[in-house]
Amino acid sequence: MGTSLGQMTTSNEYRPVTDEAIYERLTSIFRTILEDDSIILHAETSASDIAGWDSFNNASLIAAIEKEFAIRFRTAELQSLRSVGNFVEIIRAKLQGRS
């Protein structure tokens, strides 16, 4: 396998995981945790843009994201999260590190 960001498919074929795929998975998590199916995420989306994205729900979002992507955020990474785009950048970097 190369060094590109990707995941194994059921046919053992390696395919890249795109930012679009990360956003889709994040959107599903946000909609579930915040119980709002109208949420649409963009790189610049932050807690101030989404009703209910408070410190309590942020902890739930972090836990769900870590589980969904099978990753762990470091404290410094959590402190740097200011927008959904930051989530995507860190998730992409962590997934790239696995390949």
In angstroms, the CA 2 to CA 13 distance is 12
Give the model's pLDDT for residue 97.
Answer: 83
Answer whether 95's CB lies under 8 Å from 16's CB. no
Domains of the chain: 6-96 (1.10.1200.10)
Alpha carbon distance, N-terminus to C-terminus of the chain: 7
Give the model's pLDDT for residue 98.
Answer: 73
Q: Give the pair of three-digit tokens for residue 2.
A: 């190369």
Q: Which positions of the chain have pLDDT values less than 50?
A: 1-14
> What's the pTM?
0.81
Give the model's pLDDT for residue 1.
Answer: 39
